[in-house]
Amino acid sequence: MAVHVEEMTSEVAVFEGELPLSDKQTEALVAKVMAKLAEKRKTGAQEREATRLRTGATPQLEVD
């Protein structure tokens, strides 16, 4: 389904000393950020391990 938007306006007001998000929204945002950071750390560790130079051969993988 095609949607055509000619003009869209959004206004946000934040007052000093007040959080613009509810506690539940803030917790959800923090959880998503933490999950994304953990994913990046894991991916980074995997990439470093995959490209690490080794001084010896790895043990042979035995398949039954």
Considering the domain boundaries, does residue 57 fall inside one? no
Considering the domain boundaries, does residue 44 fall inside one? yes
Could you tell me which residues come within 8 angstroms of residue 29 by beta carbon, excluding any fewer than 6 positions away? 21
Write out the two tokens for 58: 């790895």
pLDDT in tens, the chain (64 residues): 565 666 767 776 767 776 678 889 888 988 999 999 899 989 988 888 888 877 777 677 777 6
pLDDT at 3: 58
Residue 46's domain spans which residues? 21-50
* pTM, full prediction: 0.49
Question: Side chain identity at 10, as an amino acid letter?
Answer: S
Considering the domain boundaries, does residue 63 fall inside one? no
Considering the domain boundaries, does residue 39 fall inside one? yes
pLDDT at 53: 79
Which whole-number Å values give the CA distances from 37 to 10, 25, 51, in the listed order? Answer: 29, 18, 21
pLDDT at 18: 66
